[in-house]
Amino acid sequence: MAEDDEESAAGGGQFPELSYPQKKEIAKWFLLNSPCGEIQYVAKEVRSVLQCDRAYDDAADEALPIYNKSQMISLEMPGGTGDVLVTNFGEIRENEYLDPRTAQVAVVDHVNQVCTEVRPAADEELPSPYVEEYRDSLDVEVLKYVNEFYRKGVCSVYGAQGKHVGGPGLDFELVVAISAARNSPQNFCNGSWRSVWDLEFREDLQVINLKGKMQVSAHYFEEGNVQLDSEHECKDVTRIQSPEDSALSIAAIIRHHESKYLASLEASYSTLPDTTFKELRRKLPVTRTLFPWHNALQFNLTKDMEKELGIRR
């Protein structure tokens, strides 16, 4: 009798009921690892499968703020005053995010991904007038660049350390955040671009040190599941000039490095048929038919390849 119980527990019987902490952690994992632009779909399915509203709600309360900030989502502010980026750099306190361009603080509902209200930013939440000159000039130039190169792109320039009380001769920092998403679930594909540029103004050396981090995410799921997550980091330097001239120089550097990174991604895609795809396939498949690699670029990843190889479902 005891042996039968062991066999039932080991394989043939039903699995034991998951505890509340286990359900909560499982829900958090799926939410935090949702592809860009798809978390609401994932959330709906996770809630349905979990069948424990308390565990899901607690998981969502913890996971969604982390997810939204990591994805740098943009939300429309009430009153048509623009969009606010949800980032660590603009976080004033829990659920409150600064929009430096309008000097407003947006209150965010992370679970529903909406901005519920806005309030004027307090003086201590904004840079000093000296730093604001550089921040505002750079914001103008970065906005021009984003509007030209990123469809539905949103950007913000932050004072990295909040309130700056210094003036000429003192070091300070700015952060440029750029986020662009193109979600098309009806066409089974979603993608996003995120870049963050840390700018260190060294007044003693009269230089600006730039550190950039660029991230690309994409998900294609028509008759399959293909995801891309790519990161790239770089550094550069330029001289401190007037606010307007410094802004032009910084924007040009950002444009150069981001264009270079995108070009490298496109170049890597063009070599996929001759490199990555070949490594994923046996030299001679069970059909005993060699794959026509010289025509690989023209194939649809599903229907055309099935037709070419004589595969039937």
Instruction: Give the pLDDT score at 10.
Output: 44
Residue 238 pLDDT = 97
Fold of 72-123: Ribosomal protein S3 C-terminal domain (3.30.1140)
What pLDDT score was predicted for residue 224? 76
Considering the domain 127-270, what is its CATH architecture? Answer: Alpha-Beta Complex (3.90)
Report how far apart, in Å, the C-alpha atoms of 213 and of each of 73, 193, 233, 240 are.
Answer: 17, 11, 4, 22
Note whether 191 and 217 are within 8 A (CB).
Answer: yes
What are the distances in angstroms from CA 181 to CA 72, 97, 150, 192? 10, 20, 9, 4
Bridge pairing between strands 74-76 and 96-99: unpaired
Which residues make up the CATH 3.30.1140.60 domain(s) of the chain? 72-123
- Mean pLDDT per segment of 10 residues, for the chain of length 313 residues? 45 70 93 90 91 92 95 92 93 94 96 94 91 96 95 90 61 95 85 95 94 93 82 96 97 97 84 62 60 56 51 50
pLDDT, position 266:
83
Q: What is the pTM of this model?
A: 0.81
Q: Is 161 helix (H, G, I), strand (E, B) or coil?
A: coil
Please say whether the beta carbons of 270 and 296 come within 8 A.
no
pLDDT at 305: 46
Residues of the chain with CATH 3.90.1150.210: 127-270
